[in-house]
Structure 1
Amino acid sequence: MEDESDRATKHKNDDDPSIHWERLQESQRKKMKVLKEETEKLQKEKDTMNVVGPASNNDDDIFEINVGGKVIFALRSTLCLVAPDTMFSHMFSGRWDGSLTRDSTDRVFLDHDPELIEIIVNFLRTKKIEDHSNPVKSPTIPDGKKKEFETLLHYFGLSDFFYPSPLLLPLDIANIEVVQPHGSVVDVTKGVNKIQFTNASRERYSFVACKPSLDVSEEGSFWKVTIDVLPDDNNHWIYLGIIGNIGVNERSYSDSTSYGWAANNQVFNGGSIRRVRSEDSGWTGFTEGECLYFHLKSDRLTMLSVQKNLKFVIGIATTAIHEYYIHFNFSTFGAKISLEPLSDEERKLLSET
């Protein structure tokens, strides 16, 4: 039984700062010991994972992958194309061959939608032989499966490879190819950062398109057109916009893949003409010296007239057409227009107006 003397001694110790300090140090030593033991345990687990097996250097190894019952054959080099920082490439690097889930015939088994895994593998195959001057476009995903595909890419660490963030580079004037399917009736003068088009025909419409196709994903594509010369002609005709079919006749503006604006209040939506009233939208046609900023993104084409401070928008069909090109059409002899990239400041103005 504790007597008065013992209780007094305990009370005195509880009030003694040196006793408190010693107890605190002892507590910290115990915590540090536990932390050290846990750290050593984690390091051993990590070291064990790193020596599961040596990485194979044979890119020609053929994998048979059972994806939900469908067997896909692929080379190791294809599966590891996006190396080394993705889960997908780590799985097939050779280091983990012994730990991958297998089916009854020793095929690697993936419990995912076979259609989506096949899209991934086929895209990797195509990227292996890609011509960098003509980059491979992101794959088309079946309707109703886009969200599932995005989730799968995120899981495997492939999102940035399949859908890289756009490099907001200016229009590459040097590499633009001017296409005139029905003869050279438009004179083309190419400078470092500008292409000027001069209509040389007195008798018919002149169709011009610019390759490569425009990028409609992420931030989309930007370009600038200036009406340098527009002869005083009651019947003058200049059409500016985009087109998905560059093999059509000289009346390209009427093609079902054509979207843009022309003289006399005309707007073309999928080749169908719509004559608008000026009080509805302010669109009245082009004028000499007018500078126009264009932006194609996803499902819309936007044109901003700098001088008029007016913006015009056309909805674009995206279900059937996957590629669009810058598109001009003339019927006024001597008319001149220029194509240039947009600067960062001009893009900002286009987005803010």
Structure 2
Amino acid sequence: MKVLKEETEKLQKEKDTMNTVGPTSSDDDVIIEINAGGKVISALRSTLCLVAPDTMFSYMFSGRWDDSLTRDNNGHVFLDHDPELIEIIVNFLRTKKIEDQSSPVKSPTIPDGKKKEFETLLHYFGLSDFFYPSPLLLPLDIANIEVVQPHGSVVDVTKGVNKIQFTNASRERAHYFDFVACKPSLDVSDEGSFWKVTIDVLPDDINNWIYLGIIGNLGANEQTNNQVFHGGSNRSEDSSWTGFTEGECLYFHLKSDRLTMFTNREYYIHFDFFTFGAKISLEALSDEERKLLPEN
């Protein structure tokens, strides 16, 4: 890691120097030959410089500092990195170059056991955001959201331009009358749907239960109000996430029929033991076990 840091700092200094010099003329159709760990890969300069010009990868092949690049005996630009990973980078750039904006190219599949190395390589070249951009968090169209209270309700709804606020207006437990939902239905295709919920006020009360999530039946009744259906099974009094706190902001992402909820709280591994003699083991997942986990 120390060597990688020193190399990164060295390249950054050279990049800063080239910034002061300014760009030089280069032919986008020039074919660049790269010797990646012994394997020669050829690509157009325009392909290699497809990413933002301020990234290390673009600077290397922009023509600005060709004389400073390490070369093999045949004059090929030499990269002392895994040839398979360098080829993945170049092939991804080729595909992105002819990308149809209506059908964005997905991030490449990385061979098992090389994902961490690939991430390190992307960071080194300044390509992380290009290969794995942060998801576009599309805001809900608040103006077109309809609040549904199918059984009548004791919940007051205040609708603003960019926010809808819900307040339980009754001191008594109202059972299914505190049920509130929003429609139209959510989009689960492509990047899915994003929204956030802020716990504005949470009175200190033994019955301050709040259930947040999604529902597939706007006609939910008293029997389903305090229950969670998971895998077709009824799990009474199981909210799957408890301990909400006043002021907490929760983020939701629904994609491909999978709901993810996350927040900026800290997390701890927790166990409760109610049976004498119970024994539990805690271990890290092996690489093979990690493969069994569902994709996000």
Q: Which has the higher strand share?
A: 1
Higher-RCO chain (CA-CA 8 Å, sequence separation at least 6): 1
Structure with max Cα Rg = 1
